[in-house]
């Protein structure tokens, strides 16, 4: 009965599309770990810091989106990515296959390629990570990085860009074991006709007609938005180059993932998490500019695969107040600060907690003097005590994260995923189809129905 109902819905969608304008250019954005709280708080942070509203939150059509997998109410990125890419549910950990692993699904990207559209996959994390791999991969486990790399090479997609390929010569059989010496994925890609690039200048110089591209902007994920320097590639730049290279008379499908949102959700690190949402929004702005030049041909859809961290808009210690602007005082990620602290301690033999306090003030804006009731970033007696104790136990970075969350008024319920529905928004040709309460599988089904 359920299959019959789903078939009926799909048929209705196709019938409704008959005679209507279909998009030539389809651009799908996925915020890994991004649900409503991340989008709302990122917008508040952006407004409080003078950068205005997020474009992703003001598209004309929106839908609350269910994310459950076949094995759990709380999905992982593999099952959620497969649902969004293929339009079919699977179990956590599976990529592009049924829960038993026996049957392969066809993704919207693969269908688009079959129909002679150009296809691009962009991410801030490794290119064979769960979400991007869901659009070209078919494996029983998301941890089969090398095998997913083989799927990438054999996909014949036109444009891959983001972090590096994880385990390009194979993943160790177990922790601590030596790396296998399998044929390098990058070499295999070159033999398949891909122009393999790792230099930003060469990548940015690419022109339409350059052929199939595999660009690795970093050995792993590209630098976090909060830590990135001018020399580092951004998600917006990867998106812009993709739009430039993929544009053609037939059309294209481009998937862009803000993959690092999830990482900082797992770490409950608000300042870095929200900056990743802003980085995704900047990439969407690039797509909107493209749509302005092709208003009758473009569809833009923005969604999340699941929520990460149980992020909440409010913290018991701050009452009803939220102060998102205080997060702007954090200049580096917690991981980067840990590295800077380690370097400082190695460089100065008599490095003391007083030296650490200066670094804390420099990188987080926290003040060790002053009245916290009058000066927002002044530390309370309890916070000072907690930071000093954490320093003595070599746990200072984690304690700083907690204090910054408290100062901003942000709470977290977990370091894992939650089953909170995500928000899907859309604009452009046929964007009205992304409205109401939908399942994540409806995204791929709808997009597939729009391919000519």
Task: Give the N- to C-terminal CA distance of the chain in Å, as an integer.
Answer: 29
175: pLDDT strictly greater than 70: yes
Measure CA 407 to chain center: 26
17: pLDDT strictly greater than 70: no
Residue 196 tokens read as 């393999």
Q: Give the burial class of 232: count Cβ atoms within 10 A of its Cβ; 0-12 exposed, 13-18 middle, 19 or more buried.
A: middle
CA 185-189-195 angle, to 5 degrees, is 130
Lowest average pLDDT, out of 64-73, 169-178, 219-228, 300-309, goes to: 169-178
Average pLDDT over every residue of 145-168: 97
pLDDT-derived band at 5 (thresholds 50, 70, 90) equals very low
Which residues are CB-neighbours of 414 under 8 A, at least 6 positions away? 309, 310
Q: Nearest to residue 445, comparing CAs of 108, 115, 119, 134?
A: 108
Domain boundaries, the chain: 20-311+415-449, 316-408
Q: Nearest to residue 328, comparing CAs of 436, 232, 220, 225?
A: 225
Quick count: other Cβ atoms within 10 Å of Cβ 208? 9
Report the alpha-carbon distance of residue 66 to residue 442 in Å, rounded. 10
* Burial state string for 19-52 with b = 16 or more CB within 10 A and e = fewer than 16: eeebbbbbbbbbbbbbbbbbbbbbbbbbeeeeee
pLDDT-derived band at 20 (thresholds 50, 70, 90) equals confident
Q: What is the pLDDT of residues 283-342, one digit of tens each?
A: 999 999 999 999 999 999 999 999 999 999 876 566 667 899 999 999 999 999 999 999
Q: What is the pLDDT of residues 91-121, one digit of tens each?
A: 999 999 999 999 999 999 999 999 999 999 9
7: pLDDT strictly greater than 50: no
On whether the 20-311+415-449 domain is CATH 3.40.720.10, my answer is yes
How far from 242 is each of 5, 88, 355, 387, 420, CA to CA, in Å? 37, 27, 45, 45, 31
Which runs of E-coded beta strand occur in 184-237? 194-197, 212-216
How far from 261 is each of 42, 226, 312, 394, CA to CA, in Å? 11, 12, 15, 26
Which residues are CB-neighbours of 441 under 8 A, at least 6 positions away? 83, 84, 86, 87, 88, 89
Report the alpha-carbon distance of residue 41 to residue 311 in Å, rounded. 9
Report the alpha-carbon distance of residue 117 to residue 222 in Å, rounded. 27
Q: Nearest to residue 449, comparing CAs of 65, 216, 112?
A: 112
């Amino acid at each position: 009965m359920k299959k019959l109902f789903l078939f009926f819905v799909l048929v209705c969608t196709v019938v409704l599309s008959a005679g209507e304008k279909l998009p030539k250019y389809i651009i799908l954005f996925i915020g890994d770990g991004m649900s409503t709280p991340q989008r709302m708080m990122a917008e508040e942070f952006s407004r409080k810091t003078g950068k205005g509203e997020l474009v992703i939150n003001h598209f004309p059509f929106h839908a609350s989106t269910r994310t459950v997998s076949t094995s759990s109410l709380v999905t992982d990125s593999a099952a959620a990515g497969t649902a969004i890419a293929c339009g079919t549910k699977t179990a956590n950990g599976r990529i592009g296959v049924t829960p038993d692993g026996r049957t392969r699904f066809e993704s919207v990207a693969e269908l688009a390629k079959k129909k002679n559209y150009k296809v691009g996959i962009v991410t801030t994390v490794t290119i064979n990570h769960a979400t991007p791999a869901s659009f070209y991969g078919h494996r029983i486990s998301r941890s089969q990085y090398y095998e997913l790399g083989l799927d990438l090479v054999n996909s014949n997609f036109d444009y891959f860009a983001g972090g590096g390929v994880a385990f390009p010569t194979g993943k160790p059989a177990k922790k601590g074991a030596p790396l296998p010496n399998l044929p390098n994925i990058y070499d295999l890609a070159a033999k398949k006709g891909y122009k393999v690039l790792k230099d930003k200048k060469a990548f940015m110089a690419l022109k339409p007609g350059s052929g199939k591209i595999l660009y690795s902007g970093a050995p792993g994920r590209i630098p976090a938005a909060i830590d990135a320097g001018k020399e580092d590639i951004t998600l917006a730049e990867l998106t812009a180059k993709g739009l430039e290279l993929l544009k053609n008379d037939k059309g294209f499908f481009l998937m862009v993932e803000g993959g690092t949102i999830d990482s900082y959700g797992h770490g409950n690190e608000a300042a870095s998490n929200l900056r990743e949402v802003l980085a995704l929004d900047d990439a969407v702005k690039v797509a909107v500019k493209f749509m302005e030049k092709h208003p009758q041909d473009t569809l833009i859809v923005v969604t999340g695969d699941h929520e990460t961290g149980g992020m909440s808009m409010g913290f018991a210690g701050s009452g009803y107040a939220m102060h998102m602007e205080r997060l702007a005082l954090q200049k580096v990620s917690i991981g980067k600060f840990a590295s800077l602290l380690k370097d400082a301690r190695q460089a100065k033999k008599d490095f003391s907690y007083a030296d650490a306090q200066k670094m804390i003030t420099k990188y987080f804006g926290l003040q060790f003097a002053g009245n916290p009731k009058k000066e927002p970033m002044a530390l309370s007696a309890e916070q000072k005590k907690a930071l000093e104790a954490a320093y003595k136990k070599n746990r200072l970075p984690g304690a700083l994260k907690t204090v910054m969350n408290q100062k901003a008024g942000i709470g977290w319920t977990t370091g894992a995923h939650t089953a909170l529905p995500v928000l899907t928004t859309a604009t452009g040709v046929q964007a009205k189809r992304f409205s109401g309460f939908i399942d994540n599988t409806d995204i791929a089904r709808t997009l597939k129905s729009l391919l000519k």
